[in-house]
A and B are shown apart, each in its own frame.
Chain A
Amino acid sequence: MITIDGVTKIRGRTRILHEVSFTARPGRVTGFLGPNGAGKTSTLRVLLGLDRPQAGTALIDGRRYADHDRPLTVAGALLDGSGAHRSRSARAHLRWVAASNGLPRARVEEVLDLVGLSADAGKRAGRFSLGMGRRLGLATALLGDPPVLILDEPVNGLDPAGIRWMRTFLRDSAATGRTVLLSSHLMGELAETADDVVIIDRGRVVAAGTLAEVVGEHATLEDAFLDRTASEGVSW
């Protein structure tokens, strides 16, 4: 369960998040949708304790991410990039991450297998393709077998087979009771994957609810999205 309540973030003189509030519930995929620069990544960074908000709270199972004793067993995160140093092997990267939270070494081989990287585990991360880097990032997120997954644009850089794999994986994760929160600017992708949708625009949540509620009278999620985010008009 993710509970974000009144989060405001100011960077320099710009208010990039304005009292952002929403929840993501167990057993459901929550899509966090917004144009580029709307505040999706900023919200996820606050949720994960990478940035500090000026006001509000962002909690995972009732506590801030950083206040959990073994955070990797509470929430797994996939952010931009693999998170591995380019000259370290995928296996060595996962080994240090596992050690940091007292996870068994055998778990490293399990997650490598899970994301299909076992054969490339000895390769340096710098030699990975974009898609392999995403898989390594996902393997890192899954090390602690966390009940909560937080993913920033997870299908970026994936080929069609990779996108289908990710979609199935996220659906299955929710079906087994996990809380899945993923950000995206790809409406079609989210409409296929999400149970609930939160739309953010210029730092404010402009819509939140089940997919059906957010789509409402509109023909598609895309129409609903454009109707709610373009009212004051970025024109193309």
Chain B
Amino acid sequence: MTGPRRVAGAVHAEAIKLITLPSLALTVALTWALTALLGLTGRPGGVLVYTQVGFLVLGVLAATHEYQGGGQIRASLLAVPRRPLLAVAKIVALAGIAAPFALVAAVLAGRPGATGGLLLDLVLAAGVGMLVKHSVGATGLVLTAYEIVSPLVRTHLPEVARLPSSAWTAAVLLVAIAIFARREA
């Protein structure tokens, strides 16, 4: 199998993993429902912050399910032993599959322009999940960063807060891929 076919196979496999995992579909459904319901209440400041939490959880679960019961991570590494390829395939498949779901969620939140931002949050959370491996720990870390650290930084260090969110996402992904590639599974 030549290079492009190997990449396509790895991405295809990751896509099948994502669409056949019930907990991910459930997370998307709950995020949509919550966004729509809160939208009806007409909250001042909008509901996007809650939608964002849903996509952070989705990103964490997409990455950490590899490490839950059954030892799937070993099957993954046996199927695609080139770890940087495996890590990149995970991110590409996740962003690609989640894009239409993020668009619907952003529309439900009344902010269709926020689709790209939700996808950046999603893949950043997946990077953290890849690093931390445990669903609960990674979720706690991501939510703490977004809901507590980030507002503090915005208040006290506005020049740091001006970094685009794509820069944060890229930084987390680079670290996650580098560590994933070196770690013994």
Residues of A within 8 A of B (CB): 48-52, 65-66, 69-72, 77, 79-89, 92-93, 95-97, 99-102, 125-126, 140
Interface residues of B (CB under 8 A from A): 1-2, 5-6, 8-10, 12-14, 16-17, 20-23, 65-66, 68-72, 74-75, 77-82, 184-185
Q: A49-B77, A72-B78, A85-B65 are in contact. Are A96 and B17 (CB under 8 A)?
A: yes
List residues of chain B with CB within 8 A of the CB of A86.
Answer: 68-70
Contact B69–A126 (Cβ < 8 Å)? yes
Given A81-B71, A85-B65, A92 and B16 touching (CB < 8 A)? yes
Kindly count the residue-residue contacts between A and B in the assembled complex, taking CB atoms under 8 Å apart.
96
20 A-B pairs with CB atoms under 8 Å apart are: A49-B77, A50-B78, A50-B184, A52-B184, A65-B81, A69-B6, A70-B6, A81-B71, A83-B70, A83-B78, A84-B75, A85-B66, A85-B70, A87-B23, A95-B16, A96-B14, A96-B20, A100-B12, A101-B79, A102-B8
B5's contact among A48, A87, A95, A102, by CB below 8 Å, is which? A102
Q: Evaluate contact between B72 and A84: CB separation under 8 angstroms.
A: yes
Of A92, A100, A140, the contact of B80 (CB 8 Å cutoff): A100
* Distance of A99 Cα from B121 Cα, bound (Å): 28
Task: Given A86-B70, A101-B9, decide whether A92 and B20 contact each other with a Cβ distance below 8 A.
Answer: yes
B14 to A, closest residue via Cβ: A96
